[in-house]
Amino acid sequence: MTSTLPEARSTPTASNPLEGYLALCKDACDGELERLYGPGDGGPNPLRELILDYPLRGGKALRPALSIAMCLGLGGYLEAILPTAATLELYHNAFLIHDDIEDESWSRRGKPTLHIDHGIPIAVNVGDAMLSLSLQPLLDNVERVGLGPALRILRAIAKMTRLTVDGQALELDWVRSNTWRLDDGDYLKMVELKTSWYSFITPLQAGAIAAGAPLERMTELESLGRHLGAAFQITDDLLNLRADPEEYGKEIGGDLWEGKRTLMLLHALRCAEPNDCDRAVQILSRRRPGSDGELGLSDLLDRLAVRGELSRAGQAEIVARLQGLQPSESKSLNDIRWLYELMVSGGSLKHARDVAAGHAREAATVLASLDWLPPSQHRDALVDLVDYVNGRTR
């Protein structure tokens, strides 16, 4: 059993200690993912290869790093947390596959999304497989950490998955129903459900549980993770508007095309003149370009009718039904630019940065108060991570 991180299989070129620590955690996590979910000795397996596609594309492995740092920082062993850390990373990437389908995203970490490369049915199945396969390592925790801690980790992840899908459902419903009369509290509650639990709270708690921490420590870790999640998600939304695509790993401006209710968009709607607000809400009601109407569905229906495989009456009925299901007009690039300028002119980007910075400061305060987490390189990594999130908010 070891309470230290092994050297990376490839030496990380880290410009600061946090990058070096994250690189070590990612390398350990990638190796565990390959052990748990790779093809193994059975020869090529297309499903297993696609399961590893997103996890091995890159990324910071933030969730594994949080769980590893908390476990080792409390004197636990790497072997006690590593399978759970890898499982959390698998959950994350399964959610990304499904998110990309729901959001009609085109790229992920600099490459085409899985559903663009392989089609929606295969992508859905890969995401489902990742969620299904994640159960066994959590059950195997009984042999690593004992029955009680294993059940506590399993309960924590069960709660995480329930709250995460609740948050995702809330966000999707806001877009579907074109809901816009929402305040900062509504947004932050959605972010707590959708982001904080699975990205911060549960990884921190799982690491502590694997190290044998008592139940009363969980409340403080929940507070730390809630503030970190809020700061991180708000900043991620801001980066979606302005970041370098190669660094950010996703398409820029995608949130506006999708109509997501970000903190700055909701602020802009609240502060806008009535006419501007009406125009913004009308733009948000339009679908994203690239949906069925612009993927050649009309041409396909016409070809079927010409070949006699679909009657003209049937064609007209399908077109009418599709028009009834979605707005006839899609968003344009000018629409997106106008929404962006509305946020800039209304001070909404500054408002979002200020709220994110406030939550980052709260996270730093909570972490500083954890006198039961002794000084170590692992605590230093958590401190650096809070500083990193705070730095992103500026």
Domain ranges for the chain:
17-268+333-392
Long-range contacts of 330-333 (CB under 8 A, 24+ apart): 330/286, 330/287, 330/288, 330/289, 330/291, 330/293, 330/294, 331/256, 331/257, 331/283, 331/286, 331/287, 331/288, 331/289, 332/289
pLDDT surpasses 60 at 9 = no
Report the mean per-residue pLDDT for the chain: 87
Calculate mean pLDDT across residues 308-314.
Answer: 78
- Worst-scoring range by mean pLDDT, 50-54, 158-162, 318-322? 318-322
Please classify residue 278 by burial: count the beta carbons closer than 10 Å to its beta carbon, then call 0-12 exposed, 13-18 middle and 19+ buried.
exposed
Summarised one tens digit per residue, pLDDT across range 232-278 is 999 999 988 875 444 444 556 788 988 999 999 999 999 999 999 99
Q: How confident is the model at residue 390 (pLDDT cuts 50, 70, 90)?
A: confident
Amino acid 393 reads: T
> Which pLDDT belongs to residue 245?
42
Is the separation of the CB atoms in 362 and 234 below 8 Å? no
What mean pLDDT do residues 369-381 have?
96
The reported pLDDT for the residue numbered 266 is 97
- Residue 293, pLDDT > 60, answer no
pLDDT above 80 (res 145): yes
The answer as to CATH 1.10.600.10 being correct for domain 17-268+333-392 is yes
How much is the pLDDT for 107? 82
Q: Cα–Cα distance between 1 and 103 in angstroms, integer?
A: 43
Whole-model pTM: value is: 0.84
Does 197 have pLDDT greater than 80? yes
Kindly report, residue by residue over 176-187, the tens digit of the pLDDT: 999 999 999 999
DSSP for 269-316, written as a single string? HHHS-HHHHHHHHHHHTSBPTTSGGGTTHHHHHHHHHHTTSS-HHHHH
Q: How confident is the model at residue 6 (pLDDT cuts 50, 70, 90)?
A: low
Report pLDDT digits (tens) over 46-102: 898 999 999 988 888 899 999 999 999 999 999 999 999 999 999 999 999 998 988
